[in-house]
Amino acid sequence: MNNQKNCVVLGRFQPFHKGHEALVLSAHAHAQDQNLNLTIAIGSSQHGYEPMNPWTVEERVEMVTQWVASLDISATIVTIEDINDAPRWVEHAEKSHGTGVLYTSDVATAELYSSAGWDTVLIELMERDSFEGWRVRQTMRMLSTVDDEEAVEMVLNEVLPACIVTWMVTNDALYRLSTFDTGVHAG
């Protein structure tokens, strides 16, 4: 990483949904105001092909790259492995995303970075009931075996940016969701 300060947005982006879009757009405006680089840090980089983390880090990088390109936003995209050690997390993550300001909607993450000496900007969650990652994944899982591409796109456009919907459909990135056991059993 270069020595310029960054405005860092951290997430798993499983997938990159409209809640993430609102967060990153707000961070982008903040970065421009403060003359910071926008850095999108994709966490849990070692996970993929599992119910909580269906897409690999390479796929998530591609999703975010597609979205950034669709809006002609300048951003650095980095990946970070989990270490499952909160006290050492910020020091570990800085090796990938550099230093600067953390821009987040997650209180626990803001507190973790603040306690490590970072400036943080905590914003309110956008439509949390609609854009929680697990809800988005469950909606996508229900659509994963639907054969009507137009219907799938219509529903997904409510929760995902249009370029991500296109990426999902053209890369056949939905079907795998139908193969995961969620642990939820009826009856």
pLDDT tens by residue, 16-70: 999 999 999 999 999 999 999 999 999 999 999 998 899 999 999 999 999 999 9
Q: Where are the domains of the chain?
A: 6-122, 130-179
> Tell me, what's the pLDDT at 138?
86
Task: Return all residues near 23 (Cβ < 8 A) that are at least 6 apart.
Answer: 9, 11, 103, 104, 105, 123, 126
pLDDT at residue 95 in the model: 96
**Tokens found for residue 13:** 């982006």
User: What pLDDT is attached to residue 130?
Assistant: 61
Write down the pLDDT at residue 48. Answer: 92
The CATH homologous superfamily to which domain 6-122 belongs is HUPs (3.40.50.620)
What pLDDT is recorded for position 136?
A: 85
Nearest to 176 by CA among 44, 14, 54, 61: 54
Closest C-alpha to 177, from 147, 151, 139: 139
What are φ and ψ of residue 122, in 5° steps? -105, 120
Give the model's pLDDT for residue 129.
62
Low-confidence residues of the chain: pLDDT under 50 = 1-2, 184-187
**Confidence (pLDDT) at 70:** 96
Please report the pLDDT score of residue 124 as a whole number.
84
Q: Outline where DSSP puts E strands in 23-104.
A: 37-42, 76-79, 100-104
